[in-house]
Amino acid sequence: MRHTRAHTRNRRSHHALKGASITKCKKCNEPVLPLTLCLNCGTYKDRELIDVLKKLTKRERKQREKEIKEKEKKESKNKPLELSDLSKK
Ligand SMILES: [Zn+2]
């Protein structure tokens, strides 16, 4: 039996795809799929499961280590700065 156009379109109104839900890595703040190991820093649930630096060449490894150190510095700097700024203002 033939449906009306409205009938068909009403049924199809539920067929749209939803975007993937993306969470942030706790350690490096990189967007990651939920329940998935972070490929940027190799951690999952606060445990380091993959040595990310292993595959890289020496030069790349040095650069990467620098980046990670800078990130950690920024993070450690940001917290006390915010508090001190608040007290100053
Ligand atoms: Zn990460």
CA of 10 to the centre of ligand 1 (A): 42
Q: Are residues 58 and 48 in the same domain?
A: no
Domain assignment present for residue 82? The answer is yes
Q: Are residues 58 and 85 in the same domain?
A: yes
Q: Are residues 23 and 38 in the same domain?
A: yes
Q: Are residues 59 and 33 in the same domain?
A: no
CA of 32 to the centre of ligand 1 (A): 8
Domain assignment present for residue 10? The answer is no
**Count of structural domains within the chain:** 2
CA of 62 to the centre of ligand 1 (A): 18
Give the residue numbers spanning the domain of 25. 19-52
Domain assignment present for residue 11? The answer is no
Do residues 44 and 26 make contact, with C-beta atoms less than 8 angstroms apart? no
Q: What is the pLDDT of residues 21-78, one digit of tens each?
A: 999 888 888 898 988 888 888 888 877 777 777 777 777 788 878 887 887 777 676 6
